[in-house]
Structure 1
Amino acid sequence: MAAWRGVPIVVVLLSGVIGVGCGAPEGEDVPAGGEVAAALEPEAAGGPQPCGPSARPVGDVRRGAEGSAPEALVEVGGQAFFAADDGVSGRELWVTDGSATEARRVKDVRPGAYGSTPRFLTRMGARLFFVADDGVHGPELWRSDGTGQGTALVADIRPGPQGSAPDALTVVGGRLYFTADDGGRGRELWSTDGTARGTRLTQEFAPGPSSLFLDELTEWNGRLALVAYGDAVTLWVMDGSTGTSRAFFRGPEQSVVFSLTPAGKDRLFFLVDPGFGEADLWVTRGQPLFTFPLRHFAGDYPSELTPLGNAVYFMAGAEGFFGEPGDLSHGGELWRSDGTLPGTRLVKDVRPGPQGSQPSGLTVLDGRLYFAADDGVHGRELWRSNGTAQGTVLVQDVEPGPEGSAPMAFAVVDGWLFFSATTAGRGREGWYSNGEPGRVDPMRDIAPAGLDANPHGFVRAGSSVFFLATEPGQGEEPWALPFLPAARCAFVEP
């Protein structure tokens, strides 16, 4: 398997690797159990907590069972923004702070039924930035403070109805970087401070009307890392304060560079497929001369690279997309790398044998890693790890038996882990946990009679945790769960 993956449009699948032992090498910076477990439980510290059964809808944006298909809940200034289609104005920008019973449309950017289709919602400072098409300027960059008057076009980069189609919005310091096509120089790198005057071409990678494919824009300790595809594939790192850029990695044209993941103060991990359908894990320590490969992974791509301290965790060892063998001893399991060769290792063989536990949903809470995995006994359930084999344990068997509850849609909100899980009689509904074994609790059963509400997109804004869920009578709409000190939760109606 080779050529089809050696293109610059990357779909990161699962993973692949040859297994090694579970023990941590001497001197490796594995977080100590006491260090990562030191945080007080949120309720013990007097902090807010979920008021479990009290979730309520915050607006039937589109009346009827079809729902408004909301997406991209983003918190800005204590409000939750999202794009939705009310069936009359088309897809536009909406907002809620949970205090009102109904969400409100921020502005009808494109009057009529077609809608402006807001996308790539991104917070920078106290404002929301997004791409929208008002029917006059084409898809361009917009900003909003949550009011109609404060929602405006940032800059008309490409005059006319075609628009510059900004993409890959990425905040670095006080500037928003993105790619755009101004109609004369092709798609290049731009940035803005949120004003028309402060919007400028940052770097022209291919002078003239031609352009390179720019991908993987990533903030890295105040700098911007990105991948450019042309005659060669190059990992660039740009310093916005000096306006300089340097190449940290170059590969042949058929290679793919993806999953850029900063960890710690100076480490940037990434994956490289040289064009053969398998990936190598690389790291750079902040200088081109200190950029090197760590390990080749057979089978499928490593997936879900997740930083924790100075290390990165990921799933690797799974069978390839077309059945290519991965780790024949362990299968897909949890791995960890601290950026050194001996420190790139299997964390634990959760499910012994070649099938593997297939960890997914890797999420960090209070210095520990949480994820879903199937140990072959309990089914797919919630696990946690402190980076050692001994500290990798089942949190709770939410649905006893070999099927498991298949937790997913993980999100961390101020010391709490939110996710969805499936149980008999309730279907897929919302759950939350403070991360301790046995401390997993259900949210309201939104879709009755065992139907699936599929809650996801959990984000805190003000005194509520907002999420998207489906109730049969109103379709998919935004919901809010009060997030208050325990004493105040007692006065919230379920």
Structure 2
Amino acid sequence: MKKQLLSLVVILGALISNAQVTLVKEINDAGSSNSSPTNLTVHNGQIFFAADDSNGSNTPGGADLGKELWVTDGTSTGTSFVKDIKTGSSGSNPFNLFSFNNKFYFTAFDTSSELWTSDGTEAGTTKVDIMPSITGEAPQRFVELDGLAYFTVGGQPGSTSAETANKLVQWDGINDAVQVADVGSGFESILQSMIVFNNQIFMYMNYSTDDATVGNELYAYNPTADTFSLIKDIDTGTGDSSISNFTILGSTLYFEADNALWKTDGTTAGTLAVASASTLAGIANLYAWNNLLFFEGDDASNGDQLYVYNPTLDTVTNISNISGSNNDHNPSDFAAYIRYSNKH
């Protein structure tokens, strides 16, 4: 019988139990220089990521090509440079990596910031101009809802300069992307990330007609009603609630607002600060696993440490108390480790 044992691995930079951390490939062979791999994204059994081989030891021609797209199958020989998108050492700086309709996409800069697709080969890495009427729309913050991809982009045709920042567009993967319909009287400027929750897109944003009295707050876009709706004015009045770290656990959406832990069921009345976490500040790096919410917090005496919230018991427990030179643990980059065993 196969049993799946799921345990949480917190990246601590050390060996944990009998697990081993193994170097896959030294991309930048310049001794102490780093390749700084970021935005690791799994697609079709491979991991795509951005990295910088400033020494040119593993890039074509042995040149410094800046931060570009790489791919790995988890082995040293299967880890390779994909394409020099922006010629020269400055790099295209790929970000917004995601899978949609069985294809891999990312945003990168050659002469402008556009959407690209890749199959992991140089020839199969090409630009996808989803909004030909704009140069450098810089699509980012991808989410998928009802078979459509949603992004924020930097501009819209015909918009005034005040309306161009971080607009929401939708894309079917085939035709040009279009700005979402909005029956309201204002225009949106979306900040931080977005998340799909309760068949809507939740986001931290500014809505022009609310700005004078509300500031930047928690909103949701309903594609059926074509509306942006204020969920709650968390920082009452014109203050900004500085929302980040959207994470779904069960039927609840958790997030950080004004350095505190908050939760919502999607309604104004159901958007509340988590009372049992009220003594903590510096909330960051939320991670849902095994019906629990793990996060970084600061109790003002032990620095940034790892905490866990149990929504069933409504309790918050300190897991780590690891001190460094500045008394901070700074837990981040959580991952689920799955171990399989066979018993006959």
Q: What's the CA shift for 1:429?
A: 0.8
Measured against aligned partners, the alpha-carbon deviations of 1:53-76 in whole angstroms (never above 9, x if no partner) come to xx78453xxxxxxxxxxxxxxxxx
1:360 aligned onto 2:261: no
1:385 aligned onto 2:303: no
8 Å Cα contact 1:350/1:357 also seen in 2 = yes
The 3-state SS of whatever aligns with 1:408 is: strand
8 Å Cα contact 2:8/2:336 also seen in 1 = no
| 1:150-161 equivalences in 2 (<5 Å) | 150-153=77-80
8 Å Cα contact 2:214/2:239 also seen in 1 = yes
Could you tell me which amino acid in structure 2 is paired with residue 348 of structure 1?
K
Distance (whole Å) between structure 2 residues aligned to residue 309 and residue 460 of structure 1: 25
1:292: which partner in 2?
Answer: 181
1:349: which partner in 2?
Answer: 233
Distance (whole Å) between structure 1 residues aligned to residue 113 and residue 218 of structure 2: 38
The 3-state SS of whatever aligns with 1:293 is: coil
Distance (whole Å) between structure 1 residues aligned to residue 154 and residue 293 of structure 2: 32
Q: What's the CA shift for 1:423?
A: 0.2
Q: What's the CA shift for 1:262?
A: 2.9
1:176: which partner in 2?
Answer: 104
Give the total of aligned pairs: 317
| 1:382–1:127 CA distance, 2 compared to 1 (3 A) | same
| 1:336–1:57 CA distance, 2 compared to 1 (3 A) | closer
Q: What's the CA shift for 1:448?
A: 6.7
| 1:268–1:165 CA distance, 2 compared to 1 (3 A) | closer
Aligned counterpart for 1:372 among listed residues 256, 266, 269: 256
Distance (whole Å) between structure 2 residues aligned to residue 289 and residue 326 of structure 1: 24
The 3-state SS of whatever aligns with 1:456 is: coil
2:41: which partner in 1?
Answer: 122
2:119: which partner in 1?
Answer: 193
| 1:14-33 equivalences in 2 (<5 Å) | none
Distance (whole Å) between structure 1 residues aligned to residue 314 and residue 167 of structure 2: 35
1:268: which partner in 2?
Answer: 150
Could you tell me which amino acid in structure 2 is paired with residue 176 of structure 1?
F
| 1:175–1:422 CA distance, 2 compared to 1 (3 A) | same
| 1:162–1:277 CA distance, 2 compared to 1 (3 A) | same
| 1:191–1:163 CA distance, 2 compared to 1 (3 A) | farther
Distance (whole Å) between structure 2 residues aligned to residue 350 and residue 141 of structure 1: 39
| 1:300–1:290 CA distance, 2 compared to 1 (3 A) | closer
TM-score (norm 1): 0.51
Q: What's the CA shift for 1:430?
A: 1.0
Two-structure CA RMSD over aligned residues (Å): 4.5
| 1:271–1:155 CA distance, 2 compared to 1 (3 A) | closer
2:314: which partner in 1?
Answer: 438
Aligned counterpart for 2:273 among listed residues 382, 387, 394: 394
Q: What's the CA shift for 1:446?
A: 0.9
Q: What's the CA shift for 1:279?
A: 5.0
Aligned counterpart for 1:313 among listed residues 197, 202, 205: 202
Distance (whole Å) between structure 2 residues aligned to residue 435 and residue 58 of structure 1: 29
1:423 aligned onto 2:299: yes
| 1:294–1:443 CA distance, 2 compared to 1 (3 A) | farther
Structure 2's unaligned 5+ residue stretches are 340-344
| 1:141–1:382 CA distance, 2 compared to 1 (3 A) | closer
TM-score (norm 2): 0.70
Measured against aligned partners, the alpha-carbon deviations of 1:107-142 in whole angstroms (never above 9, x if no partner) come to 234434264615343322333233453435244654
Percent identity of the aligned residues? Answer: 22
2:71: which partner in 1?
Answer: 143
| 1:259–1:166 CA distance, 2 compared to 1 (3 A) | closer
Q: What's the CA shift for 1:308?
A: 1.1
| 1:47–1:450 CA distance, 2 compared to 1 (3 A) | same
8 Å Cα contact 2:73/2:79 also seen in 1 = no
Q: What's the CA shift for 1:445?
A: 0.6
Q: What's the CA shift for 1:314?
A: 1.7
Could you tell me which amino acid in structure 2 is paired with residue 129 of structure 1?
F
Distance (whole Å) between structure 1 residues aligned to residue 145 and residue 260 of structure 2: 27
1:461: which partner in 2?
Answer: 337
Could you tell me which amino acid in structure 1 is paired with residue 254 of structure 2?
Y
8 Å Cα contact 2:92/2:109 also seen in 1 = yes
Aligned counterpart for 1:410 among listed residues 286, 291, 300: 286
2:342: which partner in 1?
Answer: none
1:103: which partner in 2?
Answer: 21
Structure 1's unaligned 5+ residue stretches are 1-45, 60-95, 206-225, 235-252, 375-379, 464-494
Distance (whole Å) between structure 1 residues aligned to residue 320 and residue 31 of structure 2: 34
| 1:439–1:127 CA distance, 2 compared to 1 (3 A) | same
